[in-house]
Structure 1
Amino acid sequence: MAKQEDVKKVVLAYSGGLDTSIILKWLVEEYQCEVVAFSADLGQGEELDHIPEKAKKTGASSCHILDLKEEFTRDFVFPMFRANAIYEGRYFLGTSIARPLISKAQMEIAAKEGADAVSHGATGKGNDQVRFEVSYYHFNPAVKVIAPWREWDLNSRTALEAYAKKHAIPIPTNKKVPWSSDRNLLHISFEGYALEDPWAEAPEEMYTLTVAPEDAPDQPEYIEVEFEKGDAVAINGERLSPANLLAKLNQLGGKHGIGRVDLMENRYVGMKSRGVYETPGGTILEEAHRAVESITMDREVMHLRDSLVPRYAEMIYNGYWFAPERIALQALIDETQKTVNGKARIKLYKGHCRVVGRDSATDSLFNVDFATFEADEVYNQADAEGFIKINALRLRIAAMQRAAKK
């Protein structure tokens, strides 16, 4: 915990919502310090409207907003998708992968501003406190970190609202049902409040990026996604920047109700937590990427990479993007992607995306002459007998041993 008398200026990761607005005022009041607000534009859209005005009205000396959408997609989302990384088989890591970039940019601003400390709005129960702070220490091992949720006594929604009223901080009144959300170009997440009953279905009015699958178009839509070295570069022949490509996939997936997931996840701090996620573009991207890999990647390379993916996904989920083990594993993953060049044809329909075609003009390992069920001149089927007997040898020896014991 940072000593109040040692902090003269702090850079706060600021979203403009109620919690970080209260934190901003609390830092000014409790630490008697200058507060610089920082917001990363990762694709939140209208959520960033009027951020500088809100921050300064609440007491910030200045406010930085950085457009990081391209860097986010190119240097964080795409490397993760080269691994097909999904936490516990369900979660596309949309919040997890955003935190290291936010932390990186926040630390750069702290250095530029000559700040003594950095602060965030993550609670003491969640994963984000780890993700932010591990990343902070990667860039500056001596940085002072202020985590208000671990210090203050504002431990309820009622207490927060009372503090907000006392300091004339506007309280949102437009939510039909209470929940906490986090949005970026990869996804939007929802948790807490109305979702804390794991048996209760998430309210339909909560969903933001996707239509209900039953309300999606009655006709399927086919798209083609092209890849170069494991990264998507074009949709239907149109080359797009990483951020624009992901935004386009979000639009296509959202229209067809693709990418909704309701899950129970195991938090790093030890508890189970319910999360509801919308990841329309990411769901399509992962399906298309696997399709191109299936025709271009060597079997043993694929199996080796896949065996490491759960560990890789845990590294990201737990906050270790900048750790040496993740960087080393990324080098292996990127090596496997050098031949992942080609395109996938995907069918979008009523909440589902399904591969219906894949092709690679330069790196396909599929050879119809070998794989065909028709007559061929390149594969001697009689060779399989020796292959089978050699691979069954240990089983044959065990069977002989069991017979001898009888």
Structure 2
Amino acid sequence: MAQGAIKKVVLAYSGGLDTSVILKWLQEQYGCEVVTFTADIGQGEELEPARTKAQAAGVKEIYIDDLREEFVSDFVFPMFRANTIYEGEYLLGTSIARPLIAKRLIEIAAETGADAIAHGATGKGNDQVRFELTAYALNPEIKIIAPWREWDLLSREKLMAYAESRGIAVEMKRDGTKSPYSMDANLLHISYEGYDLEDPWVEPGSDMWRWSVAPEQAPDQPTTIEISFEQGDPVAIDGKRLSPAELLAELNRIGGANGIGRSDIVENRYVGMKSRGCYETPGGTILLKAHRAIESLTLDREAAHLKDELMPRYASLVYNGYWFTPERKMMQAAIDETQKVVNGEVRLKLYKGNVMVVGRKSESNSLFDASIATFEEDAGAYDQGDATGFIRLNALRLRVAGRRK
């Protein structure tokens, strides 16, 4: 797009090196006004410095929005109702945050009269797809600027040189240390990529992890907790009702203290390459186990099995950026219908990286009938003789095929 084609752009802005350079680059290359948007989705960092940096760059409209409750209630919890996990291991912490950020970018563009949005996702990753699919779904006419697909500042050294030449202050240290990894955090997880992780044979260093103790260093006594569910969503821990964001934050704290939630994955990116990443998802790991436990008690067998069949497709939609699509919404409606009966409590023991279900109950929706399932005499609740015909009918095709042999 030529200079002058864009009058105002909303930039997803963190105040870090990449987006600080992007802000100045947009002003120079497009001669446009820049609106900055910084989302608080529970990354655990002070966000006000982003405002100061944006003001220093001449930005007049600055948005710093607390989206933690919306993130958990409208994105994380619906995903967990489906027991969503990508390629058997990844709990989609980064993936599920992107549609919310892009949604807010589009809203701010409408509020400020901007004709474009911009993001700092690279041309090699999944996030560019997630941001832009969401943006086009919500505003088909929006213009999108992706600097990493346009500029030649394709290394950290070039970014640093650009920042120095323009007098852009770059915060090298946040807490006295500078991690060599590319990190992304929100209330669901924290991720690590790059540096020595680019060799999938290299074990991550013990000093990389931020949210959890090593399982072998976790307490020698288990921690027992109870999680209450209403219509598939967790609402309380040990009887104390919490908001969605508060509940997930508390599970992160408890899980991290018990060494829960670490994973080391080589995943298949949507753009075609394999990528190695490490993740800490303590609260999500606990929730997945607990939700499946309460479903085991309350869901009809075929409904539960159908949900399991749908889940990999649902996970791919989330991973690849198709949150705001007819097919995801259709699947969500079906999943949410099943959750009306998913009410009750689950008791878990957390011990040295393990999450163990040790009890589950549902006063109103349990399908477990001890009088039928018992190994003792059941007073006629189940006629074991009925199994003879059941087995013979189901074996008919096998017997026919066996005779032909």
Query: What range is the shorter-chain TM-score in?
Result: over 0.9
Q: Which of 394, 401, 404 is equivalent to 1:401?
A: 404
SS in 2 for 1:173: coil
Query: What is the aligned partner in structure 2 of residue 313 from structure 1?
Result: 315
Q: Which residue of 2 aligns with 1:50?
A: 49
With structure 2 as the length reference, what TM-score do the two structures score? 0.97
- 1:5-20 aligned within 5 A: 5-20=4-19
Give the C-alpha shift of residue 158 in structure 1.
Answer: 1.3
SS at match of 1:4: coil
Q: CA deviation at 1:59?
A: 3.8
Q: Is the Cα contact below 8 Å between 1:211 and 1:255 reproduced in 2?
A: yes
Q: State how 1:59-208 maps to structure 2 within 5 Å.
A: 59-174=58-173, 175-208=177-210
8 Å CA contact 1:28–1:59 kept in 2: the answer is: no
- Aligned residue for 2:137, secondary structure, equals helix
Whether the 8 Å contact between 2:265 and 2:276 is mirrored in structure 1 is: yes
Which 10-residue stretch deviates more, 43-52 or 229-238?
Answer: 43-52
| Contact 1:103/1:135 (8 A) holds in 2 | yes
> Structure 1 277/12 Cα, relative in aligned 2: closer, same or farther at 3 Å?
same
> Does 151-160 or 41-50 show the bigger shift?
41-50
Partner residue in 2 for 1:225: 227
- Are positions 1:391 and 2:394 aligned together? yes
CA RMSD of aligned residues (A): 1.1
In the alignment, the residues of structure 1 paired with residue 258 and residue 46 of structure 2 have an alpha-carbon distance, to the nearest angstrom, of 24
Could you tell me which residue of structure 1 aligns to residue 40 of structure 2?
Answer: 41
Aligned position for 1:349:
351
Aligned mates of 1:328, 1:268 — CA distance in 2: 22
Query: Hey, what's the Cα distance between the residues in 2 that align with 1:358 and 1:256?
Result: 21
Structure 1 residue identity aligned to 2:113: G
Determine which of 267, 270, 279 is the counterpart of 2:269: 267
Shift of 1:168: 2.4
In 2, the alpha carbon distance for the partners of 1:391 and 1:204 equals 54
- Asked whether the 8 Å contact 1:41–1:68 carries over to 2, the reply is yes
Corresponding residue for residue 276 of structure 1? 278
Corresponding residue SS for 1:126: coil
The 10-residue stretch of structure 1 (76-85 or 378-387) with the greater mean CA deviation from structure 2:
378-387
Deviation for aligned residue 1:78: 0.4
Q: Distance between the aligned counterparts of 1:42 and 1:21, measured in 2?
A: 20
**Alignment partner for residue 209 of structure 1, among 208, 211, 223?**
211
Listed as ranges, the gaps of 5+ residues in structure 2 are: none
The alignment partner of 1:96 has SS state of: helix
Q: 1:172 offset after TM fit, Å?
A: 4.2
Q: Which amino acid aligns with 2:394?
A: N
Q: What is aligned with 2:303?
A: 301
Change (3 A) 1:260 1:49: farther
- CA positional deviation for 1:177: 4.5
Where 2:79 maps in the other structure, the secondary structure is helix
CA distance in 1, matches of 2:169, 2:203: 30
In the other structure, the counterpart of 2:288 is 286
Q: 1:176 Cα deviation (Å)?
A: 4.7
Q: TM-score, normalised on structure 1?
A: 0.97
Structure 1: give runs of 5+ residues left out of the alignment: none
Rounded to whole Å, the distance in 1 between the matches of 2:157 and 2:104 is 33
- Letter in structure 2 aligned against 1:321: W
